[in-house]
Structure 1
Amino acid sequence: MHCFRFPHSIKTSHTKMRNPSFFSSFFFLLLLSHKVTCDSHCDPIEASDVDRVQFAMNLEFLEAEFFLQGSLGQGLDSFAPYLAQGGPPPVGGAKANLDPVTYRIIEEFGYQEVGHLRAIYTRIGGIRRPLLNLSAQNFEAIFDQAVGHKLQPPFNPYRSTVNYLLASYLIPYVGLVGYVGTIPRLETYNSKSLVASLLGVESGQDAVLRTLLYARADEKVVPYNMTVADFTGRLSGLRNKLAMCGLKEGIMVPKELGAENRTTSNVLSAEVDSLSYSRTPPEMLRIIYGSGSEYKPGGFYPDGGNGRIAQSFLKKD
């Protein structure tokens, strides 16, 4: 478990930022992380390979439904309904107003997530699709929580390309860091090879999304008086606050946190040694539930996640 520590050499007066607005966003993120300590909330959990991989299906279902709905206006039930294992259809998803390039990317991501679900189902065994909340109102609540006030008009992820990319920033990254944390805990070759292959694609998806956002970092998100960098900084801060285990993301950083202390970009999410961050299942649940507690479902999962790991926390509530 890698806990964030403030670098001894941070000198904010000499750190060149790409955009002044990012300066406030980054230190908002740091202030949130400063309140976080690494304790038992951040310890790895004990679980079987099957349970660990099936836990990841909760995120794969979310990604599949969000990307398919956003690009095609249809979900998993239109492409591979058997993978849902009788789980309820998601609520609130919609086709997004995407530019042609982003549309093609998100469509590809959606099909990739169907493949991920099928690979797990075939090699490990599947779980029932949990109830998912993809509504604009759910994203509105998340973004309001991230920025610290009610946005007017309410944030709608399906309104534009940049809105959808910002909403996407919330999702694949959580699966990516979850897989990084899972692999060292796996025992069998079958599980390791499967998750390593899943991680490769998840990290690629996250890198593409972060690159698209970084290219727009200084762009104002209409009609708000905030840039893309502002929003990503606030969303990163919220994820770290909810997870309670340190600073683990951001598309822009001061040089003291950049690769070899030579860059302010963090297009590929990494810590000071350019290694991927990891998260445990409880950290992931705190984020995707939006409650800061693995025992209190909500957010994208109104009834909580499925599989033994997620259900074990709900039974303890």
Structure 2
Amino acid sequence: MMIFYALILLLWSVPLHAAGGFTKHDKDLVAFALNLEYLEAEFFLHGALGYGLDKKAPYLAAGGPPPLGAEKAKLDPLVYDLVGQMGLQEVGHIRAIKESIGHVAFPRPRLDISKKTWAKTMDHAFNKTLSPPFDAYANSINYMLASYAIPYVGLTGYTGAAPLLIGSGAKSLVARLLGVESGQDAIIRTWLYERKSEKVKPYDFTVAEATVEISKLRNHLDHHGLMVVKGKKLPFEVDDEGLVVPKELGAEKETSGNVLSADKNSISYQRTPEQILSVVYSSGNPKVSGGFYPDGARGEIAERYHKYRAKH
């Protein structure tokens, strides 16, 4: 019995990256997620603190170019506290990933989190030019709507990667990252859900309507279609849903409230790397960079699409 407990203690003391190891495939999948973690870290840190990795943890940025257009947002005390915590959590995520995958990790890619990019995203979501341009940094509601667009994409990426992982170390790391990413998404959605009927000033749409349009955009960018239910066109095979949905898409088809986005069994949706790139590039094409990654994402998986494009 003493030997059994000694073995358990030994396993608990093994570093994350050594627990069962990572295959090359595992490291590439986890490295792909690093792109999203960099984006989240810079957006949350700058939004709350007014600075990012270059001041907080320059060794993690590893000399990568500073993000374009990052600003400190005008946040109320609660949102400031929440966003600041999430930014610090992302620092830990980046460190955990880089320590786990070693030389496969890469410096921070060029990121564009400027007002202009957020304004374009919202214009794209509503299929019109908003006037005045949407300013993600103007207030707590705008900032949380912008935040709505970030952890959830990473969350669906982790759920998509989970069944493809081989090593127990990789599975453990992704499960633990996913736990916190899911929590961040739940915090953001719950905060917005409490305000779902409020107008997003100075526009004529509500918070809930904004989330629906953002989710529709992401479904469109990663190429999901439509079905007709009771004479209405509804998305099918969706991997993204706003805060309010038709009852046909709600939990057990009994509610239109949708504080968490999930499938008919209330299980998280999944995205492939190809779908994620299509969304974060805002191009609908993993080979055409842009959006939040003007020079493209980094790592073996993302760069494979760049190489394909260069050959054709």
Q: Do these two structures clear the TM 0.5 threshold for a shared fold by scoring above it?
A: yes
Match of 1:66 in 2: 43
Shift of residue 262 of structure 1? 1.8
- Bigger relative contact order, structure 1 or 2, given CA contacts below 8 A and separation 6+? 1
Deviation at 1:167, TM superposition (A): 0.5
| Structure 1 residues 269-292: Cα deviation after superposition (integer angstroms, max 9, x where no partner) | 111110000000000000000000
* Aligned position for 2:292: 300
Q: 2:264 aligns with which of 266, 272, 285?
A: 272
Q: Percent identity?
A: 55
Give the alignment partner of residue 93 of structure 2, picking from 104, 116, 124.
116
Cα distance in 1, alignment partners of residues 66 and 274 from structure 2 = 25
Q: What residue in structure 2 maps to residue 288 of structure 1?
A: 280
The one-letter amino acid paired with 2:262 is A
Provide the residue aligned with 1:80 in structure 2: 57
How far apart, in 2, do the equivalents of 1:195 and 1:162 lie? 30
Once residues 72 and 56 of structure 1 are traced to their aligned partners in structure 2, the CA distance between those partners, rounded to angstroms, is: 24
Provide TM-score, normalisation by structure 1. Answer: 0.84
- Structure 2 residue 226 is the aligned partner of structure 1 residue 247: no
**Mapped partners of 2:259, 2:71: distance in 1:** 28
Alignment-derived partner of residue 210 in structure 1: 189
Residue 169 in structure 1 maps to residue 160 in structure 2: no
Residue 104 of structure 2 corresponds to residue 104 of structure 1 = no
Q: 1:186 aligns with which of 154, 165, 169?
A: 165
Q: Which amino acid aligns with 1:213?
A: L
The TM-score normalised by the length of structure 2 is: 0.86
Match of 1:124, SS state, is helix
1:53 to 30, 42, 55: 30
Q: Which amino acid aligns with 2:76?
A: D
> What CA distance in whole angstroms lies between the structure 1 residues aligned with 2:87 and 2:296?
22
Q: For residue 59 of structure 1, report the CA deviation from its aligned partner.
A: 0.1
Q: Distance in 1 between matches of 2:184 and 2:126?
A: 25
- Residue aligning to 1:43: none
Aligned equivalents of 1:189, 1:80: Cα separation in 2: 28
Instruction: Return the alpha-carbon distance in structure 1 between the equivalents of residues 189 and 135 of structure 2.
Output: 19
> What code does the residue aligned with 1:117 have?
I
2:308 corresponds to which of 291, 294, 316 = 316
2:201 is aligned with 1:222: yes
CA RMSD of aligned residues (A): 0.9
Ranges of 4+ aligned residues in structure 1 off by more than 6 Å = none
Matched, 1:156 2:135: yes
- Deviation per CA, 1:5-44: give whole Å up to 9, x if none: xxxxxxxxxxxxxxxxxxxxxxxxxxxxxxxxxxxxxxxx
Q: Following TM superposition, by how much is the alpha carbon of 1:182 offset from its aligned partner in structure 2, in angstroms?
A: 0.5
AA aligned to 2:67 is: P
* Alignment equivalent of 1:139, drawn from 103, 118, 129: 118
Deviation at 1:123, TM superposition (A): 1.3
Q: Residue type matched to 1:279 in 2?
A: R
- State how far apart, in whole Å, the 2-side matches of 1:143 and 1:106 are: 21
Between the two proteins, the alignment pairs up a number of residues equal to 271
1:178-215: per-residue Cα shift (whole Å, max 9, x none)? 00000100000110000000000000000110111111
